[in-house]
């Protein structure tokens, strides 16, 4: 019996495009709509990936964000204290034999001061996903802080969409976008110009040593960048008025993540910016390395 599994397809335990990096989005959009038709075909042993990302950003308080950074890791908030919440819905993953899963990422703008200089990126304090396999692989190989949540498909009707995250019946995160309209390339270029350059997504890999509550097997930062990533074909980019909310919970409602959700719910929301909603196919994730 022949083995037809995509053995040469690398396992990607994270998103195929970093939804908070406008540079990648900008470069992925063809100059002319017709250019998408000339995109290179998907390799014979891979499955094209369909991804829809809804990203909402809001301005908050710097001190509140600084308190969310891991101590002793030489991280500080960089630029305006803007939180970006991205809901990603992806299907057709080759390493899952065409299946998919959803995730929600929370990203903070940071700068890391290390032995070799400064690295500007987006720190992920938490990532929710709705499948065990990418959670396990992503935590162990990438160091991403992944935990489980119920993430139903995005609900889209006419010119609006809604994203929800729940755990055992308690909805702890909600995002809504209304008045959806196409985002022109010039508008996207303008947003990219106003966005600080980012080297990628920074995570704190922390794994306790077996048999001890004070010793660790891993306690360092990782950086997931775009090096080696395959550019996606972006089919549609939309924008609209956005709303985002984290709902405070009791310990009984969220016994394993009350401290996470309530910290996010306590963040001051000074201004909510227009959302970015985009759909893509293809693409791949870049490399991840330890951040010195």
pLDDT tens for each residue of 161-176: 999 999 999 999 999 9
Nearest-angstrom CA–CA distance, 85 and 26: 19
pLDDT of residue 15: 53
CATH number at residue 73: 2.40.400.10
pLDDT of residue 149: 98
Question: Is residue 123 within 8 Å of residue 69, measured between CB atoms?
Answer: yes
State how beta strands 117-129 and 201-208 pair: parallel
For residue 36, is it within any domain?
no
Burial of 117 (0-12, 13-18, 19+ CB in 10 A): exposed
Question: Is residue 95 within 8 Å of residue 11, measured between CB atoms?
Answer: yes
pLDDT of residue 60: 98
Q: Kindly give the parts of the chain with pLDDT less than 70.
A: 1-48
For residue 123, is it within any domain?
yes
pLDDT of residue 223: 95
Residues whose CB falls within 8 Å of the CB of residue 106, separated by 6 or more in sequence, listed in order: 83, 84, 85, 124, 125, 126, 127, 264
- Binning the chain into helix, strand and coil, the percentages to the nearest 5 are 15, 45, 40
- Number of folded domains in the chain? 1
For residue 11, is it within any domain?
no
Instruction: Write the pLDDT tens digit of every residue in 52-108.
Output: 999 999 999 999 999 999 999 999 999 999 999 999 999 988 888 889 999 999 999
Question: Is residue 107 within 8 Å of residue 124, measured between CB atoms?
Answer: yes
For residue 97, is it within any domain?
yes
Residues whose CB falls within 8 Å of the CB of residue 50, separated by 6 or more in sequence, listed in order: 90, 91, 92, 100, 279, 280, 281
pTM: 0.86
pLDDT of residue 175: 98
Nearest-angstrom CA–CA distance, 221 and 211: 23
For residue 257, is it within any domain?
no
pLDDT of residue 29: 47
In which domain, by residue range, is 206 found?
Answer: 22-28+45-149+182-239+275-291
For residue 209, is it within any domain?
yes
Nearest-angstrom CA–CA distance, 101 and 88: 9
Nearest-angstrom CA–CA distance, 162 and 217: 39
Count of CA atoms in the C-beta half-sphere (13 A) of 28: 26
């Amino acid at each position: 019996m022949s083995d037809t599994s995509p053995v040469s397809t690398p396992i990607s335990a994270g998103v195929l495009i970093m939804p908070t990096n406008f540079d990648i989005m900008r470069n992925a959009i063809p100059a002319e709509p017709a250019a998408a038709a000339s995109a290179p075909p998907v390799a014979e042993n891979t499955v094209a990936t369909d991804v829809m990302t809804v990203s909402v950003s809001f301005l908050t308080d710097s001190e509140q964000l600084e308190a969310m950074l891991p101590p002793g890791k030489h991280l500080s908030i960089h630029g305006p204290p803007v939180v970006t919440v991205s809901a990603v819905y992806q299907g057709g993953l080759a390493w899952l034999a065409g299946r998919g899963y959803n995730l929600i990422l929370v990203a903070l703008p940071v700068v890391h001061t290390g032995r070799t200089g400064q690295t500007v990126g987006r720190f992920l304090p938490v990532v929710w996903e709705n499948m065990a396999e990418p959670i396990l692989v992503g935590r162990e190989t990438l160091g991403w802080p992944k935990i489980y949540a119920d993430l139903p498909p995005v609900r889209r009707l006419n010119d609006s969409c809604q994203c929800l995250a729940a755990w055992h019946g308690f909805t702890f995160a909600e995002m809504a976008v209304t008045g959806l309209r196409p985002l022109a390339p010039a508008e996207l270029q303008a947003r990219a110009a106003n966005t600080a350059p980012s080297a990628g997504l920074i995570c704190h890999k922390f794994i306790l040593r077996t048999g001890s509550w004070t010793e660790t097997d891993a306690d360092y930062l990782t950086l997931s960048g775009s090096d080696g990533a395959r550019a996606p074909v972006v089919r549609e980019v939309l924008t609209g008025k956005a709303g985002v909310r984290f709902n405070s919970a009791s310990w009984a409602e969220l016994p394993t993540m009350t401290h996470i959700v309530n910290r996010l719910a306590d963040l001051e929301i000074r201004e909510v910016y227009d959302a970015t909603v985009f759909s893509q196919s293809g693409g791949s994730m870049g490399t991840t390395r330890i951040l010195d």
